[in-house]
Chain A
Amino acid sequence: MKLVIIQYNAGNIQSVLYALERLDVQARVTDNVELIQSADKVIFPGVGEASTAMHYLKERGLDNVIVNLKQPVFGICLGMQLMCAYSEENNTSCLGIFEEQVKLFKPTDATIKVPQIGWNTISNLKTDLFKGVTEESYAYFVHGYYAAIGNRTIGTTNYVQPYSCALHKDNFYGVQFHPEKSAKVGEQIIQNFLSL
């Protein structure tokens, strides 16, 4: 299986690569359009800021490449947010694969911190991405913006309010949390993606 991780100006790419290596899976980190298009599966990671990342993708034509992929694509954290329609983070138009909007957490209680950093539960899990994953499992999150709940929601988490921790449309999957850092639960989800 040819597995590609999209290289762009966002963090955690190495972490995803190492997580795959722990599972004895080899992946290629690249921004080469042909390699991405010809891969069996594509991982679109990301920790960073939405407008800078979108700008980078557009400059290289990667935005069009990603939306037209037919093989399974797995967006992680910022990767998932960029697959949505729009992000409030610096008023950014995103890839529009998922109709959902990405918004800033606005807690009314001052003791609730933004960004959310840490382990939270994932619930209402749907699709084979979560095969064998128990409801209310814990996953590791680091994010200040969230995707609202919508038609494409395949998992929910509650922080400030319920939101989408996972989205799915056709061949596109995205998770807000970091499976590469979510211990055994995360490894199961990565394995599930690889088995799709």
Chain B
Amino acid sequence: MLTKRIIPCLDIKDGRTVKGINFEQIRDAGDPIELGAFYAEQGADELVFLDITATIEKRKTLSELVNKIAHRINIPFTVGGGIKTEDDVSALLQNGADKISVNTAAFLDPTIINRFAKNFGSQCVVLAIDAKCETDNNWYVYLNGGRTKTEKLVTEWAKEAVDLGVGEILLTSMNHDGTKQGFALDITAQLAETLPVPIIASGGGGNEQHFYDVFTKGKADAALAASIFHYKEVAIPDLKQYLHQKGLAIRL
């Protein structure tokens, strides 16, 4: 049976892993290669590396770092942050990334999704959406690492992007990110139940129960978290054992 996936996310700045609380106040949490290898050893199902400063500083993602990671890690990993062109994607895949994720650039020019999917296959194109629920109770798409609001509804953008060829959606709730109060179950379930691609839920995972909830109530295919893993508040082997005992399909 296909398992639910547990995905640690490593936010990268200047070659180091960092994690922002609500996308601000960044703390250093270690060397990405060592940390990635540690998570793979612990039973992480995949890894995501996000170059969080890339969009603002217009910096290319770190192909060299990706190459080192690929030489070390024996599970799949996704790389994101400032990816705009076929050359960007090609460089990352050539250096060993399995998938790339796009966010702001794809929103500003949705044709890149189509081009990336055609040239590299949908299976390696992940759409990251930073979502925020506003006072009108609707979920809106945010850009530039959560700094720029758009008028686009998350459900609409996700549907369009799937039609253009994205293979997976990484949905981050800005309302929940950094709170450790649980994932955004409603919007996650809404996407998971209506779209034909896997949904990776992100933002708010604080304990084992939260992961169980996002897989059952939120219908997520995968769940992503960062600081709770980086600061050892939740250990991946314990989390996977817990989910397995609760009856979910989990790779132990």
Contacts and interface: CB of A to CB of B under 8 A. Distances in A.
The interface size bin for chain A is 35 or more
Contacts of A18: 70-71, 96
B198 A118 contact: yes
A120 B74 contact: no
Contacts of A49: 121
B207 interface: no
Contacts of B98: 12, 15, 142, 181
A140 B75 contact: yes
Contacts of A22: 71-72, 74
Contacts of A141: 2
Interface string B73-113: 01110000000000000000111101000000000000000
Contact of A118 (B45, B120, B219): B45
A105 B118 CA distance: 20
Interface string A135-163: 00010111110000000000000110000
A183 B74 contact: yes
B94 A113 contact: no
Q: Which 3 A-B pairs have the closest CB atoms?
A: A138-B251, A119-B251, A181-B76
- Of B123, B196, B222, most buried by chain A (CB within 10 Å of CB) is B123
Contact of B3 (A113, A118, A186, A187): A118
Given A48-B121, A118-B198, A186-B74, 4 more contacts: A14-B95, A158-B1, A180-B74, A184-B74
Interface string A96-137: 000000000000001101111111110000000000000000
Contacts of B94: 14
A113 B121 contact: no
B45 A119 contact: yes
B192 to A, nearest CB: 8
B76 A120 contact: no
Interface string B157-172: 0000000000110000
Interface of B: 1-3, 5, 40, 45, 70-72, 74-76, 93-96, 98, 120-124, 167-168, 192-193, 196-198, 219, 221-222, 251
A181 B98 CA distance: 9
A118 B1 contact: no
B123 A117 contact: yes
Chain A contact residues: over half helix, strand or loop, or mixed? mixed
Contacts of A180: 74
Contacts of A117: 123, 167-168, 198, 221
A88 interface: no
Contact of B74 (A19, A47, A48): A19
Nearest to B5: A118
Given A114-B196, A115-B167, A15 B96 contact: yes
B74 A159 contact: no
Contacts of B76: 140, 142, 178, 181
Contacts of B120: 11
- Of A113, A121, A143, A184, most buried by chain B (CB within 10 Å of CB) is A113
Contacts of A21: 71
Interface in A176-190: 178, 180-184, 186-187
24 contacts: A11-B120, A15-B98, A21-B71, A47-B121, A47-B123, A47-B124, A113-B198, A117-B123, A117-B167, A118-B3, A118-B5, A118-B221, A118-B222, A119-B3, A119-B5, A119-B251, A140-B75, A140-B76, A141-B2, A178-B76, A180-B74, A182-B74, A182-B75, A183-B74
Given A48-B121, A113-B198, A118 B2 contact: yes
